[in-house]
Structure 1
């Protein structure tokens, strides 16, 4: 079985697909950089929804998420948004860590893995 790459670029693909599993690249806010973590989180989750939909999947098929926050003080307000986004009974495995993010103005980056 081959590897399919969706949205390939010079440094990364938006999604790599192998054996029925979608591996999404880390998603960071584009329009809400420098704004409230709630807005940034909502934007990133919307981007994930769009990528999953484009690949024939959806958030109920998420297997895992790694959430990177610029500051752990943003954990509670990020969860306010994320907890309403996750379908009841469908929460994926998850890790949340504090990290120095590469994109200026970004307080969050989310990497997701989902079943196709």
Structure 2
């Protein structure tokens, strides 16, 4: 069974299939913030979306982080390190990418396992 969470015209915010939760890329709501603030904004959205799916950040098995500028890597990691569950860090890749809105410094896509 496939369950779509907050489905829209182009994509769903999350799709649950086979025990996995595939989340759409999350971007900051407040683009006036620096990289630490935008990262914290996105991570809070991920927390809320996973809760809607019956999961938490401890269930994340994979994360892909897109940065508009790799110069923001250290600042992003400061927010990330304060958020990720100790001893439960997921597999992760961080890449530089041109994001759809130039005001976005970051986009994060995660996959979690609910079992």
TM interval, short-chain normalised: over 0.9
**Residue 41 in 1 paired to residue 39 in 2?**
yes
- Structure 1 segment 1-116 matched on structure 2, within 5 A: 2-30=1-29, 32-116=30-114
TM-score (ref. length: structure 1): 0.96
Determine the C-alpha separation between the residues in 2 that align with 1:28 and 1:34: 13
Deviations 1:27-75, CA, capped at 9 Å, x for gaps: 0001x21420010000000000000011100000100000000000000
Q: Tell me, which stretches of 5 or more residues in structure 2 are unaligned?
A: none
Q: Tell me, which stretches of 5 or more residues in structure 1 are unaligned?
A: none
CA RMSD of aligned residues (A): 0.7
4+ long deviations beyond 3 Å? none
TM-score (ref. length: structure 2): 0.97
* CA contact 1:34–1:106 (8 Å) conserved in 2: no
